Amino acid sequence: MVCHRTTDPQTMDPHLEPSRTLDPERSRLRLVCRGVVQGVGFRPLVARLASELSLTGHVDNVAEGVRLELFGTRQALEVLMERLPLRLPKGARLEPLQPEWSGDGVA
């Protein structure tokens, strides 16, 4: 899991990027998390949850909030979406999530 403060692609660690091999069990989840999500420990929370669920991807601060692009099984990604609002750091507030899914077998 890679956490960034900016969206500069040159700062990304290529060794932590998702695998580019086709896997029928993998899905991609994109979220822009809005609310009070910057400066409250939200990105480290996402990194911990992703690690617990064996997800890969990256998290970036953007003007709208925090952008997540995560890869793993659809089930694990859905569990992350369930747990995220329940485990927010103190001071954080999360608006309703609007997931963007890419089908199974993403490369």
Reported as a single tens digit per residue, the pLDDT across 30-68 is 999 999 999 999 999 999 999 999 999 999 999 999 999
* pLDDT of 105 strictly over 90: no
* H-type alpha helices, the chain: 42-52, 74-83
Q: Hey, what long-range contacts does 36-41 have (CB within 8 A, 24 or more apart)? A: 36/91, 36/92, 36/93, 36/94, 37/65, 37/66, 37/92, 37/93, 37/94, 38/65, 38/66, 40/89, 40/90, 40/91, 40/92, 41/89, 41/92
The span from the CA of 55 to the CA of 80, in Å, is: 9
Report pTM. Answer: 0.77
58 φ, ψ (degrees, to nearest 5): -150, 160
* pLDDT of 80 strictly over 90: yes
CA 27 to mean position of chain CA atoms: 12
Task: Give the pLDDT score at 3.
Answer: 59
The span from the CA of 41 to the CA of 46, in Å, is: 9
Task: Give the pLDDT score at 12.
Answer: 36
